[in-house]
């Protein structure tokens, strides 16, 4: 939600790829796209999807890290911005529900209706909450000295990532409930789908911004891309090995692995590494990239509506080469469709947004 003029095309490109990563995650998802459910266990196709899943699993963490990087030095917030996000969820949900009713016939069904708003849009509401409180997070962050910032990030890593992940491993190995032992919630860490991990990733973004701004990048952000790529590959291999350990040793379905939890330290590290790789890229500000990236949120909202058109069952159970082509074309095609919807949505809702902007003034903008 930062001012797009202050952003850089290399990071905007990463935002586009992260949105494509979300498409691949749900292409594979057994209950959404169904990919893992259609591929034969132990097949090449299953491995291809495991690879795509591993490379994409950090997508949500990347989005939040980018927000921390660009919002760290700005304590001004406008409540109209999260309202606009939620309005987009509601309006696009209503539109696609209407299309579904017209296409499939039948009367109103409350469960079907609600499915167009929940639960795939969980990110929106947690992100909106993070945005609202982020200037106060900035104040706390800026009040700390360098040692205090390192201590805070280290403690968050241990308490909210390493420990919950070890707890999940213990539960998987023992088969016993570990409810009540988590540092995140009574029923566990919820695989990292929480404001806790969002705040942690946001603060990592703040830390990277500090290093970039203060010229301390020589030891971090300016690490050679080749070294970052090596570490990224090592991290990805470890995630893949963990995935197959959970499948072969713990007898889990491949998509139930702890390796793909958002709070897993390896997933968090993957998000940081890929951000640093793109941060090192030397790309001149490109209008095409910056314009396309503006649609990433809309792509996130609408991509699940297009996955049923991708004939996933055919490709997931067929040729490995065609599966790779299908996944690449599906992500690109859905992104283009999402961009078109983004343009149409902005044109159609502009009068509403202008009306809200003009009539809602009191209590809308604030500075921490």
Residue 199 φ/ψ, nearest 5 degrees: -65, -40
What was the pLDDT predicted at 220?
Answer: 46
What was the pLDDT predicted at 214?
Answer: 78
Query: pLDDT tens digit string along 120-131?
Result: 889 999 999 999
What was the pLDDT predicted at 116?
Answer: 84
What was the pLDDT predicted at 6?
Answer: 59
- This prediction's pTM: 0.93
Query: pLDDT tens digit string along 243-259?
Result: 999 999 999 999 999 99
The CA distance from 269 to 357, in Å, is 39
What was the pLDDT predicted at 283?
Answer: 86
Question: Residue 5 pLDDT more than 70?
Answer: no
What was the pLDDT predicted at 217?
Answer: 45
Q: Work out the average pLDDT over 31-53.
A: 96
DSSP 8-class letter at 159:
I
CA distances from 265 to 156, 248, 256, 271, 313 (A): 11, 22, 17, 10, 32
Question: Residue 272 pLDDT more than 50?
Answer: yes
Question: Residue 42 pLDDT more than 80?
Answer: yes
Structure tokens belonging to residue 27: 């292409």
CA angle 195/201/202 to nearest 5° reads 85
The CA distance from 2 to 287, in Å, is 17
Q: How confident is the model at residue 117 (pLDDT cuts 50, 70, 90)?
A: confident
Asked if 284 and 291 count as a contact pair (C-beta separation under 8 A), the reply is no
Query: pLDDT tens digit string along 133-171?
Result: 999 999 999 999 999 999 999 999 999 999 999 999 999
Query: pLDDT tens digit string along 300-347?
Result: 999 999 999 999 999 999 999 999 999 999 999 999 999 999 999 999
Q: How many Cβ atoms sit within 10 Å of the Cβ of residue 334?
A: 25
Query: pLDDT tens digit string along 187-241?
Result: 899 999 999 999 999 999 999 999 888 765 444 445 788 999 999 999 999 999 9
Q: Which long-range contacts (CB under 8 A, 24 or more apart) does 349-354 make?
A: 349/87, 349/88, 349/91, 352/87, 353/80, 353/84
Mean pLDDT of the chain: 93
What was the pLDDT predicted at 221?
Answer: 46
Question: Residue 7 pLDDT more than 80?
Answer: no
- Give the residue, 108 or 221, on which the prediction is more confident: 108
What was the pLDDT predicted at 157?
Answer: 98
Q: Work out the average pLDDT over 4-18.
A: 85
Question: Residue 118 pLDDT more than 70?
Answer: yes
Q: Work out the average pLDDT over 3-19.
A: 83
CA distances from 217 to 210, 213, 223 (A): 9, 8, 8
């Amino acid at each position: 939600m930062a001012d797009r003029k202050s952003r850089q095309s290399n990071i905007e490109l990463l935002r586009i790829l992260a949105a494509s990563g979300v498409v691949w995650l749900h292409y594979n998802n057994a209950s959404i796209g169904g990919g893992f459910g259609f591929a034969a266990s132990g097949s090449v196709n299953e491995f291809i999807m495991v690879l795509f899943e591993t490379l994409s699993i950090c997508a949500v963490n990347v989005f939040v890290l980018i927000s921390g990087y660009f919002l760290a030095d700005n304590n001004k917030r406008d409540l109209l911005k999260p309202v606009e996000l939620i309005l987009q969820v509601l309006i696009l949900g209503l539109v696609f529900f209407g299309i579904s009713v017209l296409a499939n016939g039948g009367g109103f069904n409350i469960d079907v209706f609600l499915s167009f708003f929940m639960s795939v849009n969980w990110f929106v509401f947690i992100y909106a909450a993070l945005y609202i409180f982020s200037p106060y997070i900035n104040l706390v962050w800026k009040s700390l000295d360098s040692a205090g910032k390192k201590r805070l990030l280290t403690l968050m890593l241990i308490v909210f990532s390493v420990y919950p992940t070890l707890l999940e491993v213990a539960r998987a190995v023992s088969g016993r409930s570990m409810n009540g032992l988590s540092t995140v919630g009574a029923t566990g860490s919820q695989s990292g789908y929480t404001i806790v991990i969002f705040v942690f990733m946001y603060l990592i973004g703040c830390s990277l911004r500090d290093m970039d701004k203060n010229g301390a990048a020589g030891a971090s952000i300016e690490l050679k891309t080749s070294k970052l790529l090596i570490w990224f590959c090592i991290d990805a291999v470890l995630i893949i090995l963990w995935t197959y350990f959970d499948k072969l040793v713990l007898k889990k379905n491949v998509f139930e692995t702890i390796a793909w939890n958002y709070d897993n330290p390896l997933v968090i590290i993957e998000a940081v590494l890929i951000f640093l790789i793109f941060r090192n890229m030397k790309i001149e500000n490109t209008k095409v990239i910056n314009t396309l990236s503006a649609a990433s949120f809309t792509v996130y909202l609408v991509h699940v509506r297009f996955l049923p058109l991708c004939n996933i069952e055919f490709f997931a159970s067929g040729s490995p080469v065609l599966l790779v082509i299908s996944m690449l074309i599906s992500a690109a095609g859905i992104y283009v469709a999402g961009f078109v919807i983004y343009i149409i949505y902005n044109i159609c809702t502009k009068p509403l947004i202008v009306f809200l902007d003009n009539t809602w003034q009191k209590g809308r903008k604030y500075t921490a």
